[in-house]
């Protein structure tokens, strides 16, 4: 019982952190948060819970690092989506899309 409570608390904290990180980024003009099945680019949606998603994405790149994602309904491309973490309760990886970093030599 204590282990279950600990796992649920950890999942809640992880989800809260993901949302807290995504909200300021979205306010600064960043792209969407994309959630994919753990360790893959399968089932990528706009929600950590696949049943409540309204949008799907096609993503490619390096799983667990940087990806490029395309919104399926509009074909809008988000070329720079960074791995933020893993949401364990749904086994979903989280990517936050935004502008590519500018490099100055």
| pLDDT digit string, tens, across residues 29-58 | 578 999 999 999 999 999 988 788 889 999
Q: What's the pTM? A: 0.69
What pLDDT shows up at residue 43? 95
- Whether 38 contacts 52, CB under 8 Å: no
Q: Delimit the domains of the chain by residue range.
A: 2-97
H-helix or E-strand containing 24?
A: helix 2-27
Alpha-carbon distance of 6 to 44, in angstroms, equals 28
How many CB atoms within 10 Å of residue 59? 20
């Amino acid at each position: 019982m204590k282990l279950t409570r600990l796992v649920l608390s950890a999942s809640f904290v992880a989800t809260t952190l993901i949302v807290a990180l995504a909200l300021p980024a979205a306010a600064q003009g960043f792209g969407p948060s994309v959630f994919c099945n753990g360790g893959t680019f399968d089932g990528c949606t706009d929600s950590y819970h696949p049943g409540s998603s309204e949008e799907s994405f096609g993503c490619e790149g390096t799983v667990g690092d940087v990806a490029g994602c395309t919104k399926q309904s509009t074909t809008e491309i988000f070329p720079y989506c960074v791995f933020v973490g893993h949401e364990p309760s749904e086994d979903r990886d989280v990517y936050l899309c935004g502008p590519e970093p500018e490099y100055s030599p």
